[in-house]
């Protein structure tokens, strides 16, 4: 009973692939007195968020949109504004969230072609190029980090291919933006979208999308209206422009408190600087990989260069099943089970993005060791923890 009460008061260390733990400063921003959506202080925060997102994504030319909703809403905003019924779309498919955008494109009337690989692998650039050459595609989608497999896509090379074949390049950066290297303008990405609750370090509830000049042109050239008012750039563009110009405007009530929290987390992110933040994620991911190996565990990803730095997807060792996640929770750390239908019963996932420290990774690996022991897996106690120490000191 005592334990139950204390766990209610202090939740476990949150190491799932989003939402992630928040810094005290972000939490404080959430507990500020409520402001109105036209409060001058909030208007400045909103304008700063848009400016800061351009910096985080390396997209000075892009038009940012930040609306209340999750990553799925950002995905649907990209789809609804860019495709018209009958147009063709190519989905470079690396897992569950690539399937989702494919289904969404079909729902909005696109003719969808998938280039797929085994879960944990990624289609070759040759396969993608052949697919692009096989027809006139309005757009190509890439999931930068597929959260169901832990696979990191070679976005820069893919964006180049899309451009060569005159297809817009749309990147799902929900599990990458703020943690992985991503240079929207320099890499020629037309739309990148993300959500607040992952490597950007804010609570869930905000969808963010940055549309580059070619994407905005494609939207302007539509012959049919966008069939969803809440998703339509036409509704949101004047509002976002007004906030940046410091003039009040209204279409639908913005998520005032979440935007204020995102302003703080983006400020912290840019203070760290994106290059330093990406380097830290790479270091932590390497330390995490060293721990999995030391504990006799195998990643889902087939090759190291395909492995994301924001999360790890790991196979259960022989004799261990999804009960492991509960054993690790009992040791004080929340990790996630499998998500991809083909991997659900055979893998689990650990998030290591945002303000995560080597100390948090040590705690996670320590709890994982306890969970593995409770699940009957044999290994040298402390081997994972020692591997993190060696790799991160
Ligand atoms: N794309 C990716 C790559 C994701 O990881 C997620 C969420 N895990 C989504 C899209 C959907 O985001 P949300 O759950 O915020 O709707």
**pLDDT tens-digit profile of 365-384?**
999 999 999 999 999 999 99
Residue 189 pLDDT exceeds 90: yes
CA distance 261 to 252: 19
CA distance 250 to 241: 11
**pLDDT tens-digit profile of 157-185?**
999 999 999 999 999 999 999 999 999 99
**pLDDT tens-digit profile of 264-289?**
999 999 999 999 999 999 999 999 99
Instruction: State the pLDDT confidence band at 6, using cuts at 50, 70 and 90.
Output: low
DSSP string for 45-109: HHHHHHHHHHHHTT-TT-EEEEEES-HHHHHHHHHHHH--TT-EEEEEE-SHHHHHHHHHHHHTT
pLDDT for position 248? 86
CA distance 357 to 374: 26
Instruction: State the pLDDT confidence band at 13, using cuts at 50, 70 and 90.
Output: very high
Mean pLDDT of 9-25: 94
Mean pLDDT of 191-204: 98
Residue 27 pLDDT exceeds 70: yes
Query: Quick one: fold of 24-270?
Result: 3.40.640
CA distance 390 to 245: 50
Ligand 1 atom with least separation from CA of 18: 8
Q: Where are the domains of the chain?
A: 13-20+273-392, 24-270
CA geometry: angle 305, 302, 358, nearest 5 deg: 60
Q: Is the CB of 141 under 6 A from ligand 1?
A: no
pLDDT for position 368? 98
Ligand 1 atom with least separation from CA of 204: 15
In angstroms, what CA-CA distances link 185 with 57, 158, 175? 8, 14, 19
Span from the CA of 278 to the centroid of ligand 1 (angstroms): 20
Tally Cβ neighbours within 10 Å of residue 173.
32
Query: Quick one: fold of 13-20+273-392?
Result: 3.90.1150
Q: What are phi and psi of 304, to 5 degrees?
A: -60, -40
Mutation test of ligand 1: which of 174, 191, 197, 209 has the most ligand atoms closer than 8 Å to its C-beta?
174
CA distance 230 to 226: 10
**pLDDT tens-digit profile of 327-354?**
999 999 999 999 999 999 999 999 999 9
Instruction: State the pLDDT confidence band at 309, using cuts at 50, 70 and 90.
Output: very high
pLDDT for position 8? 59
Instruction: State the pLDDT confidence band at 2, using cuts at 50, 70 and 90.
Output: very low
Span from the CA of 378 to the centroid of ligand 1 (angstroms): 34
**Which residue has the CA at smallest separation from atom 2 of ligand 1?**
174
pLDDT for position 1? 38
- Residue among 177, 184, 234 at smallest CA distance from 353: 177
pLDDT for position 393? 83
CA distance 258 to 27: 10
CA distance 362 to 332: 12
**pLDDT tens-digit profile of 47-83?**
999 999 999 999 999 999 999 999 999 999 999 999 9
Mean residue pLDDT across the chain = 96
């Amino acid at each position: 009973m005592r334990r139950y009460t204390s766990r209610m008061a202090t939740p476990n260390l949150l190491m799932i692939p989003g939402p992630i733990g928040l810094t005290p400063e972000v939490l404080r921003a959430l507990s500020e007195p409520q402001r109105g959506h036209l409060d001058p202080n909030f208007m400045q925060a909103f304008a700063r968020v848009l400016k800061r997102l351009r910096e985080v994504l390396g997209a000075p030319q892009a038009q940012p949109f930040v609306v209340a909703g999750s990553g799925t809403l950002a995905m649907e905003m990209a789809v609804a504004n860019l495709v018209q019924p009958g147009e063709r779309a190519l989905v470079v498919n690396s897992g569950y969230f690539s399937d989702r955008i494919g289904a969404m494109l079909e729902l909005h009337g696109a003719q969808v072609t998938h280039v797929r690989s085994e879960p944990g692998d990624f289609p070759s650039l040759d396969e993608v190029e052949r697919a692009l050459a096989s027809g006139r595609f309005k757009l190509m989608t890439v999931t930068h980090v597929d959260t169901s497999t832990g696979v990191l896509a070679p976005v820069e090379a893919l964006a180049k291919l899309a451009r060569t074949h005159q297809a817009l390049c749309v990147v799902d950066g929900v599990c990458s933006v703020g943690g992985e290297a991503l240079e929207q303008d320099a890499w020629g990405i037309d739309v990148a979208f993300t959500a607040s609750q992952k490597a950007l370090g804010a609570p869930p509830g905000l969808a963010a999308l940055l549309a580059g000049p070619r994407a905005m042109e494609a939207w302007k050239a539509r012959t049919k209206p966008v069939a969803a008012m809440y998703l339509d750039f036409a509704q949101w563009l004047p509002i976002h422009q007004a906030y940046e110009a410091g003039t009040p405007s209204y279409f639908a009530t913005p998520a005032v408190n979440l935007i204020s929290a995102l302003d703080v987390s983006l400020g912290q992110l840019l203070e760290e600087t994106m290059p330093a933040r990406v380097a830290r994620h790479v270091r932590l991911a390497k330390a995490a990989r060293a721990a999995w190996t030391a504990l006799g565990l195998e990643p889902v990803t087939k090759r190291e260069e395909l492995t994301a730095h924001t999360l790890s997807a790991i196979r259960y060792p022989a004799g261990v099943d999804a009960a492991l996640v509960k054993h690790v929770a009992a040791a004080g750390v929340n990790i996630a089970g499998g998500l991809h239908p083909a991997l659900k019963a055979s893998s689990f996932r650990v998030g290591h993005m945002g303000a995560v420290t080597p100390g948090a990774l040590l705690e996670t690996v320590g709890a994982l060791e306890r969970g593995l022991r409770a699940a009957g897996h044999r290994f040298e106690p402390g081997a994972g923890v020692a591997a993190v120490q060696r790799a991160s000191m």
